Chains A and B, each alone.
Chain A
């Protein structure tokens, strides 16, 4: 008899939804929350949305199998996506398969990282992706299910089973889902995907293996300069991987903070430069043992200061969220990249 793992289509008899969920959990297919049933009919509707995208998928690490569109779509169905979300999910998957993203390392690490999925361009509005108030939180089906679908693919296709291949010490709630849209309408600078060379009319998915968002609260500062002091203080984190793993990070600026910075003449480039200068960590905040480790692995301090990345270009900046005096810092795994993929629609 053929093992279930070797069958693309499985006959589960007359299982109802609850019984299917028990079956799926027993197979190790679940993230712990209820799943939709990936019937052949539902999967076919999802696959139809990406028929024009014929680029082959490479083997997915760590498991090193080449998925089919059907098996990828089954994960999106189970996550609760609508069919029209599927091109965004597959773009996110292509992003994490960028060799520089280091999917194997980011899945097998003891670090808490999860794939951050940011959506830019017209498809945000077409799908109703939340870019405003509570954009990192609950309440919007595309945000909830697109990120979840990618997480299920990493579990079921990549093989990142918690406690087995996924060795994260504590994990991170963002492993359930971490998807949001840029607030391009209230971004006084260029949207992120345009900063990266895409056209404003392109729909683009950006992925980074990151921690959850760290809040940057500043109700008191009335100047851009003051805000950057607060931001940099929140970023100067001796416990983040980026202090020695040296990699990218995002600063997601809330619209009110962005308006203040713009009013005071700051650009993306000058914000990046200022944050780079001000977010260094003094050696007094780093243990002697860690200082020795960092130096012996090639991460030397500049005088008495450790930088939190390789250069100002490691600090990626955009705008998201709604009214309020909050922004967010998202440090990455370190040995990864920020990958952008145009949605094939």
Chain B
């Protein structure tokens, strides 16, 4: 007996490949991104304190989504990508 696979689908077209540049964790600007859930900010503050033990943290800055339940807006992602060399994400819940 032949049946139709209820999970079948075609893979969506892949997005453009992004070439990653090397990151200097000792000096580069870093974004600390919160998913806006409780305790995400605390996780990121801990990360900033850890980083502060061996580097200057003036160019390490906090950012958060507008809503815990929705994806970050493209504008925020583009702004972070433009200003920082790395982003650390905290997924509190």
Contact = CB atoms under 8 A, between A and B. Distances in A.
Interface string A315-345: 0000000000000000001111000000000
Interface size on B, as a range, is 20 to 34
Interface string A26-56: 0101000000011110010000000000000
Given A245-B69, A297-B36, A335-B69, A66 B3 contact: no
Contact of B4 (A43, A111, A296): A43
Contacts of B41: 296
B5 A8 contact: yes
Which secondary structure dominates chain B's binding surface? loop
Interface in A194-249: 241, 245-246
Nearest to B64: A297
A60 B9 contact: yes
A119 interface: no
A40 B3 contact: yes
A298 B36 CA distance: 10
How big is the A interface, by class?
35 or more
B8 A8 contact: yes
Contact of A40 (B2, B7, B9, B66): B2
A1 interface: no
Given A65-B12, A66-B9, A71-B9, A9 B4 contact: yes
A5 B7 contact: yes
Interface stretch (A72-80, A132-140, A275-283): A72-80
B5 A4 contact: yes
B46 to A, nearest CB: 17
A279 to B, nearest CB: 20
A39 B8 contact: no
Interface in A130-152: 152
A70 B8 CA distance: 9
Contact of A66 (B1, B10, B71): B10
Given A297-B68, A298-B66, A40 B10 contact: no
A157 B2 contact: no
B68 to A, nearest CB: 7
A59 B2 contact: no
A7 B8 contact: yes
Interface string A86-106: 000000000000000010110
B5 A7 contact: yes
B70 interface: yes
A71 B6 contact: yes
A240 to B, nearest CB: 13
A65 B9 contact: yes
A111 B37 CA distance: 13
Contacts of B7: 5, 27, 29, 71, 156-157
Contact of A14 (B1, B3, B4, B36): B1
Given A5-B5, A74-B4, A296-B41, 14 more contacts: A8-B5, A9-B3, A12-B1, A38-B4, A64-B11, A66-B10, A68-B10, A70-B4, A71-B6, A74-B5, A78-B6, A245-B69, A297-B68, A335-B67
14 contacts: A5-B7, A5-B8, A12-B3, A14-B1, A27-B7, A40-B3, A64-B11, A68-B10, A74-B3, A74-B4, A75-B6, A77-B4, A102-B71, A297-B36
